Chains A and B, each alone.
Chain A
Amino acid sequence: MNRTADQPEPNPLREGLAARPVPQPCNIVIFGATGDLTHRKLVPALYNLAADGELPPDVVIVGFARRDKSDDQFRSDLEESTRQFSRQPVRDEMWNTFAQSIFYHRSEFGDEGGYKRLAKRLDEIDKTHGTRGNRLFYLAAGPDQFEPILKNLKAAGLNQTCKGSWARVIIEKPFGTDLASARDLNRVVRNSFTEEQTFRIDHFLGKETAQNILVLRFANAIFSPLWNRHYIDQVQITAAETLGVGTRAGYYESAGALRDMVQNHLIQLLCLVAMEPPTDLSADSIRNEKVKVVRSLRRWSRSEIAANVVRAQYTKGAIHGEPVTGYREEQNVNPESQTETFVALRLFIDNWRWADVPVYMRVGKRLPKSATEISVHFKKAPPVLFNKDLRDLNVLVIRIQPDEGISLRIHAKVPGTSFRIEPVKMDFHYGTSFGKPSPEAYERLLLDAMGGDATLFARSDEVEQAWAFIDPIEEAWHGKKDAPELYFYPAGSWGPEAADDLLARDGRAWRRL
């Protein structure tokens, strides 16, 4: 958004052509280059940027992985997957030019020599491809490999650059598994890269509607006076998916829904909804306000956790009429697994704006539909005139995915001689109003990292504060004494009854999606 301290003076020919930090020529080194993320997301995203003219021509991709492969073989593999996963059709002439800038570097992640060879190769590419000594390291390998990669990058001097160049590192979640491991990871990262060089990616923040939350709140004067405890009754955030654990059982068994979704994606969304207006649009101004929200989340005692958090696991059921197995019957899942596939939480943000406004969050697998939505429920109008019998509140819904958009529920008189009032919905759909499809989240985030804009990336203190909130819940769940119950829900339902009770106790109910 705004130019950061390490951003160069603007190019006068760019004036009026780009309203964002311009991505710089660079070498993008992807660790874990033969993995799913590279093939399904990263390279298709880079191809789309190139095809849209958003990628500087002097960008080179170097895949770093253990398997033996030639440059041509790597290019051919990537072409196949890009043709399958790209947002737009792949054009031969465009791919051929794009592929000329793709290289493969074989090395073990722990082999220091491999990094020295990489450094030499990057220097050569700088000379031949005009990448200017800029390096963007993308850690798409498993989190257990982060430490050796970061250490070896430092040992090979790849974390440092000459004047006028930069080196940055993008880290994929999970950013640790608890506060201690997150701190440890941050320490490891800091040993090699400064915070300004570190970009922790949360792809939810790259979604168009997530970015639009700030625009909705701070570019529309009508919402500003209403956006507080005086007018808002409750906030709900739902991230539902119909999919089961699929092939991710190995990771998911040790993570669960709380760590996998709440600690990062949902808390990030909550921050955007609840934060104070930043002083400007610089990355740190925005992240300063976000971290205050996380710090204001009310911490619970063990007994309060049982009353405010519901965990559950899906059993066999049906999705879209098709029978599906229960979580414990999934491949590579412990038949006695205690891992939660559903979490519902009742949160409070103890600050001036949000005191006593409950935030209800739920996230789950094998729910009846896939949708991520935030709903802001406004308080009832005074119970006079029309409002004596009205039950439905005004609700502002922000749809993150799919069908990104915003809707507002208001009351209207039903036409006729009687005075019947019913809720109606004013609906804005991105796909309807703007014909141009939104770029993939990874496209936006990669471009931001190349431009040095960290606004949509998590800072270390945000991550640590989020773990500080999550850890007591995990500890309570996995404690030997008085661990809160693990509930069960049939696949295809909206979770266990206990999740409904969480709201029913407050005289509220989950919004119907």
Chain B
Amino acid sequence: MICSPGTGVPGDDYRPGMPAAVETYSLGAPVPLGEIEQELKKLWHDGKGAMTRASLMNLAVYSEQPGSLQRNTRLMAQITENHACRALVIEADCNANEDHVSAWISAHCHVSSVGSKQVCSEQISFLLKGRCTTQLPNIVLSNLDSDLPLYLWWQEDFRESIDSQLWTWVDRVIYDSHGWRDFRSQMRLLELMRQEANCRIVLCDLNWTRLDNLRFALAQFFDHPASHHRLSKINRLRIDFAPGFRSTAILFVGWLAAQLKWQVNEVKSAHELRFIGASERHIDVELRERNGQPVHEIVLTSGDVEFRVTYAHCGDLLEVSRTQREIRHPQLMPAGNNDPVGLISEELIRGGPHHIYLNALNCIRDLL
């Protein structure tokens, strides 16, 4: 098989040289595969104005959706505002008749938070066609910014046929289990992949990241030691979720179950569950499908106290309240963004291993 290092069609608004200040969302200049590093050097050399190249990681994004190169380039332009990286944007067309690889280089420049200096992240875009898609590890690994971690954002379902060599290089694999049709088989593949990488890869599920601010908002109710006893008295949980986000709601339940040592006792229906707590107390869980945010309201009842986390009217704030004997003090907290840029940014800021996620997953694996 010959994978020709083609020079693909440049982005619609391609301009030679590096953008000085304006973010164009262009794929940039087409480059031969073997000359990417040299062309990147030229790009920086020819750049105008005071620019600083910055990179904290290699952030690769892989998709098989037609048009994903442009879409992901837009996302990268926004992500790099806060996370300097070398972006590797890859679109694969596995069903193409021809075997062909095209590559482009570009830069995303933003004015830094201090002063007027422009901070730029470089992007290498690849369009893989036909059997060249099997060359993914080869292409990614030969274009990494050295000594920096590799975060791979996988926008497709995982398959068994992916070259295991890739996983040995990946530090964090980012995916969104919300879109999975077969949760169990996907998890099995992910776990296999982790084993191949000696469990070194951190699994970053954006479906879990979606819950970060909600978990934070609920957790703060129990910070004071005087509230701890409420945790063992929880008897009811209601979660309202948007159509298609049942798995997100279930993950939230899994988190509570793992942290509070609950076990599944009875699955009454897809929307009614019963857990049993450490003190043999039953916890009834109701999952309600409603239009709104992926998970837009959580109500936890512990005896005569109700803890509520719900989206405020303005949408990007959470209203948290604790009600006891009809006395209620609502407060606002940030809700974070549920769009891909917000979720990826949250994930990149947080870092660290996600053992809490794995514990949560183990508790509700059979419910998904």
Contact = CB atoms under 8 A, between A and B. Distances in A.
Interface of A: 8-9, 11-17, 19, 22-25, 50-53, 56-58, 93-94, 97-98, 128-130, 132, 164, 402-403, 429-437
The secondary structure that dominates the B interface is mixed
Given A57-B320, A94-B317, A9 B112 contact: no
Interface of B: 52, 54, 56, 81-84, 110, 112-115, 117, 119, 212-213, 215-220, 222-228, 231, 256, 259-260, 312, 314, 317, 320, 322, 327, 329-334, 349, 352, 354-356
A496 B317 CA distance: 55
Contacts of B117: 431-432
A354 to B, nearest CB: 32
A102 B228 CA distance: 27
B332 A433 contact: no
A5 to B, nearest CB: 14
Given A97-B331, A435-B83, A164 B54 contact: no
A284 B115 CA distance: 38
Contacts of A12: 231, 259-260
Contacts of A403: 114-115
Contacts of B54: 432-433
Contacts of A164: 225-226
Contact of B322 (A52, A130, A132, A436): A130
A102 B149 CA distance: 45
A14 B84 contact: no
Contact of B219 (A13, A94, A431, A435): A13
A68 to B, nearest CB: 28
A161 B303 CA distance: 28
Contacts of A94: 317, 332
16 contacts: A11-B223, A11-B228, A12-B259, A17-B215, A22-B223, A52-B334, A53-B333, A56-B220, A56-B223, A57-B320, A98-B332, A403-B115, A431-B113, A432-B112, A432-B117, A434-B56
Contact of B222 (A13, A98, A128, A429): A13
B113 A435 contact: yes
B219 A129 contact: no
B349 A436 contact: yes
B334 A16 contact: no
A159 B354 CA distance: 41
Contact of B84 (A53, A58, A128, A432): A432
A8 to B, nearest CB: 4
B82 A17 contact: no
A13 B218 contact: yes
B349 A130 contact: no
B260 A130 contact: no
A97 B84 CA distance: 35
Contact of A16 (B110, B213, B225, B355): B355
Given A17-B216, A432-B117, A132 B224 contact: yes
A403 B52 CA distance: 14
A220 to B, nearest CB: 14
Contacts of A22: 220, 223
A165 to B, nearest CB: 9
Contacts of A23: 223
Given A12-B260, A16-B355, A51-B334, 5 more contacts: A14-B222, A15-B259, A97-B330, A132-B224, A132-B226
Nearest to A98: B332
Contacts of B226: 132, 164
B76 to A, nearest CB: 13
Contacts of A97: 330-332
A206 to B, nearest CB: 18
Nearest to B225: A8
Contacts of B332: 50, 93-94, 97-98
Which residue among A8, A23, A129 has the maximum number of chain B CB atoms within 10 Å of its CB? A8
Nearest to A129: B329
Contacts of A25: 223-224
Given A25-B223, A25-B224, A402-B114, A57 B82 contact: no
Nearest to B349: A436
A433 B114 CA distance: 11
B313 to A, nearest CB: 8
Given A9-B228, A97-B330, A429-B114, A57 B220 contact: yes
Contacts of B331: 57-58, 97
A403 to B, nearest CB: 6
Which residue among A13, A24, A98, A130 has the maximum number of chain B CB atoms within 10 Å of its CB? A13
B257 to A, nearest CB: 12
A133 to B, nearest CB: 9
A57 B319 CA distance: 10
Contacts of A435: 81-84, 110, 112-113, 119
Contacts of B83: 435
Nearest to B114: A431
B31 to A, nearest CB: 25
Contacts of B220: 22, 56-57
A9 B225 contact: yes
A465 B317 CA distance: 48
B354 A16 contact: yes
A16 B215 CA distance: 10
A93 B312 contact: yes
Nearest to B56: A433
B216 A130 contact: no
A57 to B, nearest CB: 3
B213 A53 contact: yes
Given A57-B320, A57-B329, A436-B82, A13 B114 contact: no
B359 to A, nearest CB: 9
Contacts of B224: 8, 24-25, 132
A93 B317 contact: yes
A23 B121 CA distance: 36
Nearest to A403: B114
Nearest to A12: B259
A433 B112 CA distance: 9
Contacts of A50: 332
A500 B312 CA distance: 61
Which residue among B226, B331, B355 has the maximum number of chain A CB atoms within 10 Å of its CB? B331
Contacts of A436: 82, 113, 349
